[in-house]
Amino acid sequence: MDSIFIFSGTTEGRELTTQLAERGYDCTVSVATEYGCEVMEMQEGVSVRTGRLNQEQMCMNFRQKKYLCVIDATHPFAGVVSAEIKRACKQEGLPYLRFCRPTEWESEEKTKGKPALSFDTAWEAASWLKEREGKILLTTGSKDLSLIAGVIADPSRLYARVLPGVESLQACEKAGIPKPQIIACQGPFSVEMNTALLHFSGARYLLTKETGRAGGFPEKLEAAHACQVQPVVIRNPENRNPGGEAGGTEKNQFSFSMFAALIAEVDALARQREEEAKVSTTTEGTLQRTLILAGVGTGNSAQQTQELVEALADADVIFGASRILRSLRAPEEKKQALYQADRIREELIRHPEWKKVLVAYSGDTGFYSGAQSLLKLLHTDAELFKSGFEVKVLCGISSVQYLASKIGKPWQEAKFLSMHGRRGNLIGNLLRYPKCFLLLEGCKQLRACALMLQEAMEKGVVRGLHIYFGYQLGSAEEETGVVTVEELFGRTAEGLYLLYLETEEDDRQILTPGIPDAAFIRQMAEGNAVATEGNAGTTEGSSGSGTIENGSSHSVSIESGSSCLAPFETGGRRTVPMTKAEIRMLALCKLHLTERAVFYDIGGGSGSVSIEAARLCIEGRVYSVEQRADALDLLRRNKERFCCENLEIVAGSAPESLTLLPAPTHVFIGGSDGKLMEILQTVMQKNKDVRIVITCVTLETLAEVQKALAQIGKDWREKDRVEIIQVAVTKARAVGRYHLFRAQDPVFMITVG
């Protein structure tokens, strides 16, 4: 069954898909909107993909199957999309077939009623209408609404008829069309329906597009004539520019205005492919090249499947790391010691005579395997895709399965971790998952792992740890057994290690933020100078949100929960300001953190927000930005106290110190040193969809935040992008036999994103 890729979203596209599916073609249909998907009829042999695609995404979709051709049945006014489809087809060497909707006016339509006025663009038509008075019924669709409304600059004149989809209604709202003047319904529309809408709107003008009979164009003109309304028509760009980018008649690019002619061309392409296949089979004996990505187990030939043994015997060439190739029973002349995906790609393109290629990977292809890199290349690299490989993936026995069987432990409940060329968060994962397998390479990684475990046990972060190890599994040097942390330090043999770590199961593991304030180290080390006066405030770090600039080289922090401005002391020793637990918990919840978040804590202070975020985002990275020496010292001590390997301390001021950091997904601003505008601009330039939470205690800082958001852009001022709340916390404390409540200062919390 031949496969066809169809860009639809029109009545013709749906009808064409139905006819091709009935003829036995496998149709992949791409529509831009959810509404376009909803109106597609479900039928055998048709799969629908929703969402707008750019040229690169089109190419990636085209490589997923060996498509016979690409049919462009998009709207005649979707010229930009057609141009991208055309370029993508040219890049991938696929025939491009364009269905062109007939839109020429018939003579009787031209002479009825007021003569229609025609313009080449929506901007020209809107400019003409701007100079006239009277209401306008828009039947141009949602795409040009903002442009038309912007030119006319009087939404009260506009009535918009659009499709009843979310995207269309959002376009109306963005264009400023008043809700009572939005008509959301699906055609086709009769003359009577068009007439009723013209009467309802009281329109003097009908603005429409030259869309032909399929778009209900004749019925619109007839209704306008009946109501004595002036038709204003935007010409079909394909009619005025048939040789342009949206049309075109280059090689492998054909235009059709009849279904029968287009389907006949598809059938001809199918026959041509069938003939080429026969010729290829006759001359080369095979049509398809085969690329096998095979997991070979831990290195013991006894673990290799019969399927792998047969594939090795049939292969023209075998790629893999030297260690893996030595374990394979195959002729040496077949073996090539290459495992990097890009270098294998070069060899595959350079040697078209290789019909059966095998790439061997240790363990299983789905478990921390290099097979994924080559698979990605096969789906994204056009030249490699054109080499015509049929890809097969063969599973193998992973090192985890092998060790689990040796030590008698089930592995289905364990978390899998690897430190092979990557950064990991061992302690964070071990706290979340009490059973973990950890892949390591060499003594250096083994000792680093042992040091992390030792420190976590000494601090009481990890309890009841049991360690099982495997070394060079499947080889003659294989070792397995139970070890202690101290014994890990004594290992000197280089090679591959696999550890199974098991801690005491603790059903009390808390998944929400809320570490008590008392758990954090807050006292500054002896001899540290105090750079900023203040007490345990709602804002963590150096001057900024929640801080009043006093005109000198220092600033004075405001305490949330105290009316005085004095150094906060505990046992005669000064402490760094810290966001109180209740405010911290709410701020972290408002951030909507994810497991793999990239999180900035700007004004890190003692690190309470950073520590909580690092424990929540165990697969992410937390960057705590702080410029004060005393706070930096506390940050380091608290990081060590809680064993947060995924927390990085950035010594410096924002936004300068943010330049080299990866783009953030989430940002907490507890101190800005008077640079709030610059900080917001920097993080939004790195990621326009970043989610930000800012805390402050003064009206002046709140005004600064609002001013900064107003200057950055309209998108951030929309009601669904910015939330401002005020939080007041009152806590009870025991005084003798009584409990008295002490109020903390109210805190403003601004959430953006």
What pLDDT, in 10s, does the model give residues 263-302?
A: 888 888 888 877 776 655 544 444 478 999 999 988 777 7
Q: Which residues pair with 483 in a beta bridge?
A: 467
* Whether residues 487 and 580 fall in one domain: no
Residues 14 and 93 in one domain: yes
Q: Is 509 inside any structural domain?
A: no
Does the pLDDT of residue 531 top 60, yes or no?
no
Directed axis angle between helix 145-152 and helix 122-130, to 10°?
A: 30
Indicate which CATH number applies to the domain containing 301.
3.40.1010.10
Q: HSE on the CB side for 146, CA within 13 Å?
A: 7
Give the chain's end-to-end CA distance (angstroms, integer). 47
Choose the weakest-confidence range: 51-55, 97-101, 249-253.
249-253
Question: Is 284 part of a structural domain of the chain?
Answer: no
CATH number at residue 85: 3.40.50.720
Is the pLDDT at 126 greater than 80? The verdict is yes
Q: What is the pLDDT of residue 502?
A: 94
Looking at the fold, whether 134 and 163 belong to one and the same domain comes out as yes
**Domain for residue 371, yes or no?**
no
Query: Do residues 202 and 323 both lie within one domain?
Result: no
Q: Which residues contact 255 (CB under 8 A, 6 or more apart)?
A: 98, 99, 100, 242, 247, 248, 249
At residue 92, what are phi and psi to the nearest 5 degrees?
-95, 0
CA-wise closest residue to 573 among 514, 515, 519, 524: 524
- DSSP notation for 263-274: HHHHHHHHHHHH
At 112, the pLDDT band (50, 70, 90 cuts) reads low
For residues 180-208, give the mean pLDDT: 91
What's the pLDDT band for 368 if we cut at 50, 70, 90?
confident
CB 177 within 8 A of CB 106: no
The predicted structure's pLDDT at residue 394:
93
CB 237 within 8 A of CB 144: no
pTM of the model: 0.58
Strand 96-99 relative to strand 117-119, pairing: unpaired
Q: Mean of the per-residue pLDDT values for the chain? A: 82
Say if residue 155 is in the same domain as residue 85: no
**Residue 95 and residue 254: Cα distance in Å, rounded?**
8
Is residue 374 a part of any domain in this protein? Answer: no
Q: Which domain holds residue 547?
A: 517-752
For residue 541 the two structure tokens come to: 């770090």
68 and 176 in one domain?
no
Structural domains of the chain, count: 5
658: left (phi over 0), alpha (psi -120 to 50) or beta: alpha
Tell which residue, 611, 607, 590, 575, has the closest CA to residue 671. Answer: 607
Q: Is residue 278 part of a domain?
A: no
Dihedral sign of CA atoms 609, 612, 616, 619 in order: positive
